[in-house]
């Protein structure tokens, strides 16, 4: 088995489900997420330059998923068709709070426009700075700040107050975003 095939196997075995869930954050649909992940894997492992490191490969695959996702949504704006279905859930205080958070955050994210959703994922999952997000998405920094502000506002409309435990310098924190 070639080295890149071993990396592919290891990546899917160890991080495949996490990558699929990351894709689902972007797509809002688990079925579409699997398509997105498959396409990104083919593109990343189908290039001449070999991927020999699982950690680097995961980063690369996530970047490819983001790019394919954003380009596709420049033309398709299906979020508008489901946004009205998202209702603010009742706040829960229970031992299952984390699971409830997971479900409600996933639903709330799905209500955002694709670019806003991408900004949120890059900022609050990938922990990128505003300049880094701007560079990744090909946007002005001011635009990214506005997107993040809009996104946090919409998430709070659905989820109630949100905060982030991973603030970094030169990022937009939750308060600033509001």
116-175 positions binding another protein, by CB under 8 A: 120-121, 124-125, 127, 138, 152, 155, 159-166, 174
List 55, 85, 87, 98, residue binding another protein (CB under 8 A): 98
Binding residues with another protein: total (CB under 8 A): 75
Please identify which residue in the block is written with the tokens 């991408």: 118
- Interacting positions 35-54 with another protein (CB under 8 A): 35-39, 41-49
List 55, 74, 80, 87, residue binding another protein (CB under 8 A): 74
Quote the least distance from Cβ 141 to another protein, whole Å. 17
Quote the least distance from Cβ 49 to another protein, whole Å. 5
59 is a contact residue toward another protein (CB under 8 A)? no
- Which residues contact residue 144 at a Cβ distance below 8 angstroms, ignoring those fewer than 6 apart? 119, 130, 133, 134, 137, 172
Quote the least distance from Cβ 100 to another protein, whole Å. 9
Report d(CA 147, CA 122) in Å as an integer.
12
Quote the least distance from Cβ 130 to another protein, whole Å. 15
Interacting span for another protein (CB under 8 A) from 69-77, 79-87, 111-119, 139-147? 69-77
Report d(CA 8, CA 126) in Å as an integer.
21
Report d(CA 115, CA 74) in Å as an integer.
9
SS3 state of residue 7: helix
Pick 49 or 84: Cβ nearer another protein: 49
What is the DSSP secondary structure assignment for residue 156, as one 8-state letter?
A: H
Quote the least distance from Cβ 84 to another protein, whole Å. 19
Q: Are the CB atoms for 25 and 16 separated by under 8 Å? A: no
19 is a contact residue toward another protein (CB under 8 A)? yes
Report d(CA 134, CA 94) in Å as an integer.
38
Q: Are the CB atoms for 118 and 137 separated by under 8 Å? A: yes
96 is a contact residue toward another protein (CB under 8 A)? no
């Amino acid at each position: 088995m070639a080295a890149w095939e071993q990396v592919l196997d290891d990546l899917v075995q160890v991080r495949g489900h996490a990558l699929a869930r990351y894709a689902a954050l972007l797509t809002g649909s688990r079925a579409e997420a699997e398509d997105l992940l498959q396409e990104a894997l083919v593109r990343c492992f189908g290039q001449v330059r070999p991927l020999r490191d699982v950690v680097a490969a995961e980063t690369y695959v996530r970047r490819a998923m983001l790019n394919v996702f954003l380009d596709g949504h420049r033309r398709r704006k299906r979020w508008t068709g489901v946004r009205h279905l998202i209702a603010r859930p009742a706040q829960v205080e229970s031992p299952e709070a984390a699971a409830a958070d997971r479900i409600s955050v996933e639903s709330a994210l799905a209500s955002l426009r694709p670019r806003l959703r991408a900004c949120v994922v890059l900022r609050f999952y990938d922990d990128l700075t505003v300049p880094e997000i701007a560079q990744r998405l090909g946007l002005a920094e001011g635009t990214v700040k506005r997107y993040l502000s809009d996104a946090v506002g919409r998430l709070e409309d659905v989820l109630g107050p949100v905060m982030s435990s991973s603030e970094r310098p030169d990022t937009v924190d939750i308060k600033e975003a509001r």
